[in-house]
Amino acid sequence: MKTLQIVTSAYRCNIEEQDDPVVWISQAMKAAGAELHLLLGGGAVNYAVRGQDASGLLFGGKAQTQPPRIEEDLRRLLDKGAEVYVVQDDAAARGLERADLLEGVKGLSRAELPRFFGRFERIWRW
Cβ closest to another protein, residue 62 vs residue 115: 115
What minimum distance in Å lies between the beta carbon of 102 and another protein?
23
Is residue 111 within 8 A of residue 63, CB to CB? The reply is no
Per CB under 8 A, residues contacting another protein are 1, 3, 6, 8-9, 12-13, 17, 21-22, 25, 28-29, 32-34, 42, 110-111, 113-115, 117-118, 120-126
The set of long-range contacts for 61-67, using a CB threshold of 8 Å and a minimum separation of 24, is 64/15, 64/18, 66/18, 67/15, 67/18
Instruction: For residue 59, give the 3-state DSSP assignment.
Output: strand
CA dihedral 97, 76, 69, 16 (to 10 degrees): 120
Cβ closest to another protein, residue 35 vs residue 103: 35
What minimum distance in Å lies between the beta carbon of 31 and another protein?
8
What minimum distance in Å lies between the beta carbon of 32 and another protein?
4
Cβ closest to another protein, residue 50 vs residue 111: 111
Cβ closest to another protein, residue 50 vs residue 110: 110
Q: How far is CA 47 from CA 42, 43, 52, 68, 120, in A?
A: 10, 8, 8, 11, 22
